[in-house]
């Protein structure tokens, strides 16, 4: 139901202006297609104000338990990923995750021919509605395929551009095989609990990144799960999430939060509007033990008291656990948050000091860093890789986080 009296065109123009001010839709062609495309026709059941809110995703399908199955991504993220993809006229494109069809319509405009765009989704209800919306808006020549996106779509390969709007833990082997030399791939990848939209160029048999954006997406269905998770409290209200190549044993961690709480403070502060994701990103390079902790609101702060936000880093070492926390500091009108660490278990004191030391090492370079992810096929030998290596099923991730001069 559309309750606002402002026209869709005016709402769309305001949306694009706000996205531009936030640093996205920097490519003029991306700005143009966002302005020209009636997003509300792809999410007809959503309120217009929500549809054209730059920061708001619109959930269109849910699992029986209420979890999001498919959605229209927030417009700022759509713009950011299209900037990353850098579509050129005549590019052949594969989209994994059909969503509402909105993104496929943007891709069709960017490449100049709808029949050069293929979008695939495992859910037939999703593809049926995407097909209807694309046909109704003039993009019926887009190829909408019902199938496992992890397999790509070889019939139209090779692709000059490939974009995933669902989050894979790995780069599936078929994707490697369906990329043209020099192709660009944009995918919201996961490693060590993080989720990042990463843009790559496919060159010399490897994928080399040139930008990363913090984000969260519905996971790629049908993928053999590489991120594991499990509760560390009897009531399941506190959970850990880790990669399968990490040494985490929930049996060893049993009752860890019942042990005394050890707290340490780093002396490092962040502004109220400054995230801690850069610290976590660096930590994935410097400490292979980093993973993610999540907690039900009922468990905060009595059981655990992690830093706010969805992304909450933790370290596990045997039967010991430490996680990032923060406390509010006020000096007159000046408000900051000091980073700290809370630990439990035999090595709690050592681990809390270690996490604070990591914050101190990160802070001087926080505005002067260059993260880069290079992905190799799984059969690449150790002698050709740097460190650290994140072991996946079909590939090996090598991540670096280097301080650069101004």
The percent of residues above 70 in pLDDT, for the chain, comes to 93
Q: How confident is the model at residue 402 (pLDDT cuts 50, 70, 90)?
A: confident
pLDDT tens for 125-140 read 999 999 999 999 999 9
pLDDT tens for 2-13 read 555 689 999 999
Task: Please report the pLDDT score of residue 66 as a whole number.
Answer: 44
Q: CA of 124: how far to CAs of 69, 168, 221, in Å?
A: 12, 20, 13
Task: Please report the pLDDT score of residue 57 as a whole number.
Answer: 85
| Kind and range of the H or E run holding 98 | none
pLDDT tens for 134-184 read 999 999 999 999 999 999 999 999 999 999 998 899 999 999 999 999 999
Q: What is the mean pLDDT of the chain?
A: 91
Alpha helix ranges (H) inside 299-386:
348-362
Q: Which two tokens stand for residue 204?
A: 């010399």
Q: Residue 283 half-sphere exposure, CB side, CA atoms within 13 Å?
A: 26
DSSP 391: E
Q: Using alpha carbons only, how large is the chain's radius of gyration in Å? A: 22
pLDDT tens for 265-283 read 999 999 988 888 889 999 9
Q: Is 205's pLDDT higher than 50?
A: yes
Q: How confident is the model at residue 231 (pLDDT cuts 50, 70, 90)?
A: very high
pTM over 0.75: yes
**Residues designated as active site:** 70
| Kind and range of the H or E run holding 322 | strand 320-331
DSSP 132: H
* Contact (CB, 8 A) for 96 and 120: yes
pLDDT tens for 26-56 read 999 999 999 999 999 999 989 999 999 999 8
- Cβ contacts of 123 within 8 Å, gap of 6 or more: 61, 69, 70, 146, 221
* Contact (CB, 8 A) for 240 and 232: yes
């Amino acid at each position: 139901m559309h309750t606002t009296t402002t026209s869709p065109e005016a709402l769309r123009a305001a949306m694009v202006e706000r996205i531009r001010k936030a640093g996205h839709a920097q490519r003029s062609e991306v700005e143009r297609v966002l302005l020209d495309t009636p997003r509300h026709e792809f999410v007809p059941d959503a309120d217009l104000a929500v549809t054209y809110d730059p920061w708001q995703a619109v959930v269109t399908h849910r699992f029986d338990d209420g979890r999001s199955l498919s959605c229209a991504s927030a417009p700022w993220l759509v713009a950011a990923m299209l900037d990353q993809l850098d579509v050129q006229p005549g590019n052949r494109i594969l989209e994994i995750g059909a969503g509402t069809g909105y993104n496929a319509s943007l891709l069709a405009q960017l490449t100049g021919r709808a029949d050069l765009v293929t979008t695939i989704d495992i859910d037939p209800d999703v593809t049926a509605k995407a097909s209807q919306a694309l046909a109704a808006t003039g993009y019926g020549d887009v190829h909408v395929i019902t199938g496992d996106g992890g397999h790509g779509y070889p019939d139209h390969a090779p692709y000059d551009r490939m974009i995933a709007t669902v989050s894979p833990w790995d780069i599936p082997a078929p994707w490697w095989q369906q990329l043209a030399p020099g192709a660009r791939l944009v995918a919201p990848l996961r490693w060590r609990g993080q989720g990042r939209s990463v843009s790559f160029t496919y060159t010399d048999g490897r994928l080399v990144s040139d930008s990363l954006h913090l984000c969260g997406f519905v996971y790629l269905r049908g993928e053999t799960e590489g991120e594991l998770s499990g509760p560390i409290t009897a009531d399941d209200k506190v959970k850990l999430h880790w990669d399968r190549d990490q040494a985490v044993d929930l049996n060893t961690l049993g009752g860890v939060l019942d042990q005394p709480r050890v707290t340490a403070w780093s002396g490092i502060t962040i502004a109220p509007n400054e995230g801690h994701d850069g610290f976590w990103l660096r930590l994935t390079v410097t400490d292979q033990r980093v993973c993610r902790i999540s907690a039900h609101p009922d468990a905060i702060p009595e059981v655990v008291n992690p830093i706010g936000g969805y992304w909450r880093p933790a370290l596990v070492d045997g039967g010991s656990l430490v996680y990032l926390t923060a406390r509010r500091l006020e000096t007159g009108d000046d408000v900051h948050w000091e980073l700290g660490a809370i630990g439990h278990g035999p090595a709690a004191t050592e681990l809390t000091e270690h996490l604070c030391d990591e914050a101190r090492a990160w802070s001087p370079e926080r505005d002067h860093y260059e993260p880069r992810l290079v992905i190799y096929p799984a059969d690449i030998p150790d002698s050709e890789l740097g460190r650290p290596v994140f072991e996946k099923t079909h590939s090996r991730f090598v991540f670096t986080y280097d301080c650069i001069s101004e």
